[in-house]
Amino acid sequence: MTIASDPLVTSQRISTAVEAWLDAHQQAQLMIGNRWVPAQSGKTFESINPATENVLAHVAEADRADVDDAVKAAREAFDSGPWPRMSSHDRARVMRRFGELLEEHADQLAELETLDNGMTIGASKAFFKVGMESYHFFAGQATVVMGHTMPSAEGMFNYTRREPIGVVGGIIPWNAPIVSALWKIAPAVACGNTIILKPAEQASLTCLYLGELAIEAGFPAGVINVLTGFGPGAGSALSEHLDVDKISFTGSTEVGKLILQASTGNLKRVTLELGGKSPNVVFADAAVEEAVPYALAAFTTLTGQACGAGSRLFVQRELKDEFVEKLAQQVAGLKIGDPLDPATTLGPLASREQFDRVSGYLAAGKEGGAIAKIGGEALAGGGYFVQPTIFDGVDNSMRIAREEIFGPVLSVIPFSDEDDAVFQGNDTTYGLGASVWTRDVSRAHTIAHRLKAGMVWVNTYLELDPTMPLGGFKIGRAHV
């Protein structure tokens, strides 16, 4: 089966609103205490459009000194500012205003996100919606944060209060910046905390846009701060900082470990959302016509750069060839190209680094003996495009089946029965997501229970709901 080989993007139709925003932000600054300032060092770095490799803007490179300033602003806002002291109803009012502004700017935010990280405009709008559902959910929670009253002897009164933690550092990746930023900001500020958001260096622009809207919404100075910069500079300074009470991080396992180490200075709290190599398990009794498009979305959404990507597809042996054939047909129908074009269904990878990494895995798959049923090549000609790839003939011990690729690359692995599916599905150091496809209700529950993952879907994939915890566990131990 063949697939597009020349997605060259020569020009993009950028709206006048986003064009104007970009013109005004060619030297984008840091947001500290509701003011926009350059990095103290004066350093900047480029934000690249991954579809064209053109420079979109120059962004301030925060370092330790800027982190100190931002922490001071956030600390003051928490220790003596109005935010944690005002009534929860007043906090909720500011949050609602921010929510309205975000919705008003939805089109521009989605477009800017697509320009900066390459996700298709369709995905950008869909993820914006997911982010807003969570945002509104947490804004609604602001007024219902309650403690408990415990039974006690007469003359005694025991109760607990839910208190904000203090200054939170939110460090996010580049694959879906708006939703990641809202997932960090919303729960933190709803409870009266203050936050310093550190976007990923590969795609920071929409976080700056969010910062502007936060000021307009009326958050007091220092409640929301945005520091653009690199991981080893701004990111590590934030995670080591003794006046930061909590780090909430989403990104690679490697950096998650560094953050945990950096937290020991003041024993700050840490929440880590790391990667996955999630098993999507299809039994022979599954509704195949429904399972195929979900299997496609599981490894191509965000061009495969999703923590919950279903990158290992386990299909029961008797169904495997038929399933792979149908899936390959759908892969062949993907439209690779300009992510701003609404017809495009697969955009570029987000950065040169990611392009090189995924290209390396395409080579490793072939060298390891896997067969590219479709795709298998990086695409030359500008922009960080690779072919969506189904590797058949994969053994779960191969590198491509063990390591998070974070690209549109699927490993198909056959299994014989329930025990084999569970054994192979759990034979990974990751434990973020999993899915099971079957028409047998009892089997669905049994397998969902036995798959060791924080989120397990049945007859669907990557459905998210803000009322559902985004759980995950394991790392480093490959068996049940």
In the range 8-47, which residues lie near ligand NAI by CB under 6 A? Answer: none
Q: State the DSSP H helix or E strand holding residue 57, giving kind and residue range, or none if neither.
A: strand 55-60
Site membership for ligand NAI, residue 255 (CB under 6 A): yes
Give the distance between the most distant pair of CA atoms in the chain.
79
Catalytic residues: 273, 307
DSSP state of 331: H
Sheet containing strand 224-226, edge to edge, reads 35-37, 30-32, 224-226, 194-198, 167-171, 246-250, 269-273
Which of 66, 116, 201, 245 touches ligand NAI by CB under 6 A? 201
Query: What whole-number distance in Å separates Cα of residue 228 and Cα of residue 302?
Result: 22
Site membership for ligand NAI, residue 349 (CB under 6 A): no
Site membership for ligand NAI, residue 200 (CB under 6 A): yes
Stretch binding ligand NAI (CB under 6 A), from 11-19, 66-74, 229-237, 449-457: 229-237
338 touches 305 (CB < 8 A): no
Site membership for ligand NAI, residue 62 (CB under 6 A): no
DSSP states along 24-47: HTTEE-EEETTEEE--TT--EEEE
Site membership for ligand NAI, residue 414 (CB under 6 A): no
Stretch binding ligand NAI (CB under 6 A), from 91-99, 122-130, 195-203, 468-476: 195-203
Cα distances (angstroms) measured from residue 322 to each of 126, 326, 328: 31, 6, 10
Give the contacts of 455 (CB within 8 A, at least 6 positions apart): 308, 432, 433, 434, 468, 470, 471, 472
Which of 361, 406, 430, 457 touches ligand NAI by CB under 6 A? 406
In the complex, least distance from residue 333 CB atom to ligand NAI, rounded to whole angstroms:
26
Stretch binding ligand NAI (CB under 6 A), from 23-31, 58-66, 210-218, 246-254: 246-254
Task: Please say which residue, 262 or 422, places its beta carbon nearer to ligand NAI.
Answer: 262
Query: What whole-number distance in Å separates Cα of residue 38 and Cα of residue 231?
Result: 18
Which of 49, 248, 250, 387 touches ligand NAI by CB under 6 A? 250
In the complex, least distance from residue 239 CB atom to ligand NAI, rounded to whole angstroms:
5
Q: How many residues bind ligand NAI (CB under 6 A)?
A: 25
Stretch binding ligand NAI (CB under 6 A), from 123-131, 165-173, 187-195, 291-299: 165-173
Task: Please say which residue, 171 or 336, places its beta carbon nearer to ligand NAI.
Answer: 171
Which of 109, 115, 274, 302 touches ligand NAI by CB under 6 A? 274
Query: What whole-number distance in Å separates Cα of residue 10 and Cα of residue 148?
Result: 60
Q: Residue length, the chain?
A: 480
Which of 33, 170, 173, 414 touches ligand NAI by CB under 6 A? 173
Which of 91, 198, 241, 452 touches ligand NAI by CB under 6 A? 198
Can you point out the beta strands (E) in 355-474? 371-374, 389-392, 409-415, 433-437, 455-458
Residues in contact with ligand NAI by the rule CB under 6 A: 171-173, 175, 198, 200-201, 230-232, 235-236, 239, 250-252, 255, 258-259, 274-275, 307, 357, 404, 406
